[in-house]
Structure 1
Amino acid sequence: METIIVEPRKGIGQITLGMTREEVRKYAEANGLRLFNPRKDSTAVQSVGDFKVEYDSEDRVIFIELSSFKGDHDITCLLMDINVFETKAEDLVERIDKISPYDRNDWELGYSYTFHELGLAFWRPYVFRDEDMQQEWFLSHDKEEQESYLRDQYFRTVAIAVDGYWNKSKESVKYSV
């Protein structure tokens, strides 16, 4: 089992903020990872956990996102010794909020939580809570559909970024040492 460590303001796994596009390419090549460019201004590294990496205008990493999708790989994603993708979203937010407050004005609150002081964010496509398991709409679904809903108790991605990434337009964000 591979363990991927999330270090706010530093990196996720071996991909770190400030790396050049070429360093990410070499890392991907050395580890058998595929690269693709969905947009001209970003590169995504697909592999264990499915990384997305964004660069500034000088081709330095300013944003790293890791997806919970494991595919055929067995990974664990740890942040401050907390298993990110196996800790219920509300519990994870509560624990991190004790260290640094999340943005309570985020228009996607519930779906996403951003901790600006840490340069850290979490996202999930749907909000599902324990109390939803008792609702008629949930109980009326078959077991497979219920399993899908239960997955939404957890975040699907964790991301880190340089200072100001979520506050400014991407064109004005630069990596700084």
Structure 2
Amino acid sequence: MKHLAVEPGQSIGDIRLGMTQKEVEQTEAFAFDPKVEFDAQGKAHFIEFYESDEYKCVLGELDLLGTEADVLIPQLDAIAPYDREDPELGCSYQFDQIGLILWRPVAMTREDMNESWFLEMPTENQQDETKHLCFSTVAIYTEGHYE
């Protein structure tokens, strides 16, 4: 499994903010099909990777898409506070000071696994729902991207 180093506000793997589309397409990480948005000057200003069995997105020792959100968020919050006013809080955690955002479609917790709505699901559905304990995407962005 490939490890893609996440440098908030700078790069994921060998894809760096500020690269042109041609430069991005020549990177090794481009083979993993990231979402890359470009500004009016044609420079990458947003890079997003989705959960995958092919790679891990790591920030130091932290597996950003493989660590449960309840464990990961306090560790990241100690580095830079997340936006506590985010209307999608629970699903989305945005760290503006460092240019990092994590997202998942459902805000799932271990406690939810004891709730009747979860326990009444078929086992197959329960297994599918537990993937929401972790984040589905990690993205980095340039300063001012969300303003």
- TM-score relative to the length of structure 1: 0.79
Are residues 1:119 and 2:102 paired? no
Q: Report the counterpart of residue 62 of structure 1 in structure 2.
A: 45
Distance 1:81 1:53 in 2: 24
Equivalent pairs, count:
147
SS at match of 1:137: helix
After TM superposition, the structure 1 = structure 2 runs for residues 36-75 of structure 1, keeping only pairs within 5 Å, are 47-48=31-32, 50-70=33-53, 73=54, 75=55
Match of 1:152 among 118, 132, 135: 132
SS at match of 1:132: helix
Q: Report the counterpart of residue 7 of structure 1 in structure 2.
A: 7
Structure 2, unmatched stretches of 5+, are none
Q: Report the counterpart of residue 90 of structure 1 in structure 2.
A: 70
1:6 positional shift: 0.5
Aligned letter for 1:11?
S
* 1:54-83 residue CA offsets vs partner (Å, 9 max, x unmatched): 00001000000010033xx3x222112101
* 1:137-159 residue CA offsets vs partner (Å, 9 max, x unmatched): 11111111001111111000000
Q: Pairwise CA RMSD of aligned residues?
A: 1.4
1:164 positional shift: 1.1
Q: Which has the larger radius of gyration?
A: 1
Structure 1, unmatched stretches of 5+, are 34-44, 168-177
Q: Give structure 1 regions of 4+ aligned residues with deviation exceeding 3 angstroms.
A: none
Aligned letter for 1:25?
E
SS at match of 1:69: coil
